[in-house]
Amino acid sequence: MIHYLLFAVFFGLLLLGIHRKVIARIQRRPGPPVWQEILHMFKFSFKSTWIPQTASETLFVAVVLIAIGIWTAAFFIVLAGGSLLIIFGIYMLHKIVEHGFGLSSGSPYGKFGGVRSVISAASEIPLFVSVAAITLFTKSLSISDIIAYQEVSGPLILVIPLVAVAMYMVIVSKMPFGPFSIVESKELVSGYKTEHFGVWRAGLEICNGLKTYVLLMTFILVFIGAVPFWLMLVLMVLIVVTLSFVCALCPMLSPFDSVTVQTLITAVMIVYVALLWWLL
Amino acid sequence: MIGIGGQPLFMLPFGDIVLYFTPFTLTLFILALVFTVLVIISKPERQIDIVFGGDAYLAKEISISEMKFRRFMAIACGLASMGAMVTGDIFDFALFTSLVGICNVGIVAAVKSRHVQNAAYQYGLVAMSATVPLFAGAAIVAATTGTLSILELALPGATKVPLFVKALLTLGVMGEGMAPFYAAKAEMFRAPGAPYVIMCSLSSLLIFLRVIEVVLTV
C-alpha cells in the first residue's frame, strides 16, 4: 500500500506539472517541464528550513503534518471503497488547513490568504448538493455501493450530468492558476503558503500532489465507475487537460466575484436537485 | 443500521441518551480532539502589521489575560464540538451546537478593538437568532416522532422526520456556523488569529458536516 501511496504523490505532482505545461502552451509560452512540481518537492526538501519569529510554532509545523495526514486518510478511504461523505468532509477540512497555514505564520500575506480561504467556503456547498443528488439514486454514499450501482445502471455522469459538472467545478476551485484560486493570488505573494518554506513547503507539495490524485480518482469512481488502472490514469490526464483549458482561458476573479459565481452555481444545483427529488 | 455515517463502532448508553461513534463521526471527533490539543499546547502568533505606503511595520503583543480568555473559549469550543460529534440525541446536538456558537462569539469578542468587537456583536445576533430554528427543529422532531434519538429515527420503519424540520435544523446550524465569516472579518482588521480563531472555522465546519449526516439519516 505504501508504494501505491508514493505513486499517487508522484503522479499527482506530475498531473500538476502537466497542468502548468498545458496552460503555458495555450498562452504561447514554453512553460516548465512536466516534472517541474516533482523537482520543486525535492528542491524544497533540501533547502534551509526555518520558523518565523512571529509564528505560532506548534501550529506552524502541525498544519503541514495534518495536511498530509488527512489526504493520506482520504486516499486509503477511496481505495477501501469507504464513505463519500468522509471524503467530502476531508475536502472541507482542507480549508481549515489552508486557514491554519495562513494564520500560524503571523504574516499579513499568509493571513489574507487564510481569510480568503474562509470566505471562499461557498465553493464547498455544491459538494453537499452533489452528495444529496447521488444519495437520491444510489441510496448509499459508500463508494463501493456507488460503483456497484453504476455497473448495473450505467455511469452516473450520464444519469446526473449537472451533478458531475458541480463536482468538476469543485475540482476547478482547487486547481492552481484557476478562476477561483484567490487564496494564492500574486498580490498576496503566495497567499496562505507564503511563509512556509524549506521542508514545510515540500510537505505542502506532497499534500497537493496527493490531493489532486485523490480528487480526480474520486471523480472517476463516482461518476464513471470502476475502470482498469491504466484507463484511470489516462482519464486523470484528460481531465487535467480540460481543467488547464478552463484555468488558462478564464481570468482569476476578484474575491467578491469568486464567491458570487460559486454561490450562483450552488443555487442552480439546489434547484436541479429539488427538481430531481420532485420527479423521483 | 445508522444510515450514511456507517455502522456504529462503539455505543455508550446513558439511559435513553446514547453516545456512539460511526466511522464518519469518529473521523470528525479525532480532528476536533487534535485541534483542541493544538490550542492547548500552542503559543499564539505575534502579529506584524504593515504600514501601507512605506517600509515600516508594527509588531503586536497580546496581553496574557486576553490570551488566557481566548484560549479558554477555544478549548470550550473544542469540547462542545466533540460533544456534538458523539451525541446520538438531536436535542443534545442542538445544545452543543448553540454552545459552539457562544464560544465562537467569545473567541472573537475578547479582542479589544472596536472593529473586531463590532464583528463579534453582529455574529452574536446571528447566532442568537439561529437558536430559534435550531431548538424549534429539535422540538418538532420530538413532537412528530415521539423520540429524539438518532439511532431510533434511523431504524427502518421509524416515523420519518418532516422535510421542513430538517430544513429548520440545517438553518439553525448555518446560523451558528457563521462564525468563520465574522472571524475572517475580524482578522481583516488584524485581530490576532492563531491558534484560537482556527477553532471558529473548525467547529463550524464540524457541526455543519454532522448536521448533513443527521438530516440524511433521520
Q: What is the ipTM of this complex?
A: 0.77
| Interface size between A and B, measured as CB pairs under 8 A | 117
Is B173 a residue whose pLDDT tops 80?
yes
Q: What is the per-residue pLDDT across B117-162, written as a single tens digit (0 to 9) for each? A: 888 888 889 888 999 999 999 999 989 988 888 888 887 777 788 8
Q: Quick check: A194 contacting B, CB < 8 Å?
A: no
* Residue B70 to chain A, least CA–CA distance (Å): 15
Residue ranges of alpha helices (H) inside chain A are: 2-26, 36-45, 57-79, 84-104, 108-119, 125-138, 143-153, 156-159, 161-174, 199-223, 229-249, 255-279
Kindly report the pTM of this predicted structure.
0.83
Nearest to A56 among B49, B183, B195 (CB): B195
Which pLDDT belongs to residue A24? 92
Q: Are B153 and B161 in contact (CB under 8 A)?
A: yes
Cα three-residue angle A60-A120-B130, rounded to 5 degrees: 100
Which is more confident, B205 or B56? B205
Site of grid cell 463536482: A167
Question: Which H or E run includes B18?
Answer: strand B17-21
Residue count of chain A: 280
Instruction: Read off the pLDDT of each residue in B79-106 and give the average, rounded to a whole number.
Output: 90
State how far the Cα of A153 lies from the Cα of A139, in Å rounded to an integer.
13
Q: Do A106 and B216 touch (CB under 8 A)?
A: no
Contacts of B38 in chain A (CB under 8 A): 58-59, 62
Highest mean pLDDT of the ranges A54-58, A134-138, B102-106, B184-188: B102-106
* Residue B189 to chain A, least CA–CA distance (Å): 11
Which pLDDT belongs to residue A153? 83
Which pLDDT belongs to residue B154? 80
Which pLDDT belongs to residue A198? 82
Which pLDDT belongs to residue B75? 92
Range of A231's domain? 2-279
Instruction: State the cell numbers at A151.
Output: 455497473
Q: Do B41 and A58 touch (CB under 8 A)?
A: yes
Which pLDDT belongs to residue A39? 92
Which pLDDT belongs to residue B1? 45
Q: Quick check: A82 contacting B, CB < 8 Å?
A: yes
Sign of the Cα torsion A157, A158, A162, A165 reads positive
Nearest to A106 among B34, B41, B46 (CB): B46
Is B33 a residue whose pLDDT tops 70?
yes
Q: Do A56 and B43 touch (CB under 8 A)?
A: yes
Q: Quick check: A146 contacting B, CB < 8 Å?
A: no
State how far the Cα of A154 lies from the Cα of B54, in Å rounded to an integer.
62
Q: Do A140 and B4 touch (CB under 8 A)?
A: yes
Task: Using pLDDT thresholds of 50, 70 and 90, give the confidence band for residue B216.
Answer: confident
Instruction: State the cell numbers at A18.
Output: 502537466
* Average pLDDT of every residue of chain B: 82
Which pLDDT belongs to residue A217? 93
Q: Please name the residue of chain B whose CA is at the shortest distance from the CA of residue A84.
A: B4
| B1, B24, B25, B27: best to mutate for the A interface, most A CBs within 10 A | B27
Contacts of B27 in chain A (CB under 8 A): 73, 86, 89-90
Q: What is the per-residue pLDDT across B1-15, written as a single tens digit (0 to 9) for each? A: 456 666 777 778 777
State how far the Cα of A104 lies from the Cα of A77, in Å rounded to an integer.
29
Domain total in chain A: 1
Is B79 a residue whose pLDDT tops 90?
yes
Q: What are the two backbone dihedrals, phi and then psi, of residue B49, each rounded to the nearest 5 degrees?
A: -110, 130
Q: What are the two backbone dihedrals, phi and then psi, of residue A53, each rounded to the nearest 5 degrees?
A: -60, -30
Q: Are B174 and B208 in contact (CB under 8 A)?
A: yes
Maximal CA-CA distance, chain B? 69
Which pLDDT belongs to residue A23? 92
Instruction: State the cell numbers at A274.
Output: 429539488
Site of grid cell 509545523: A61
Q: Do B34 and A140 touch (CB under 8 A)?
A: no
Tell me which residues of chain A have a pLDDT lower than 50.
none
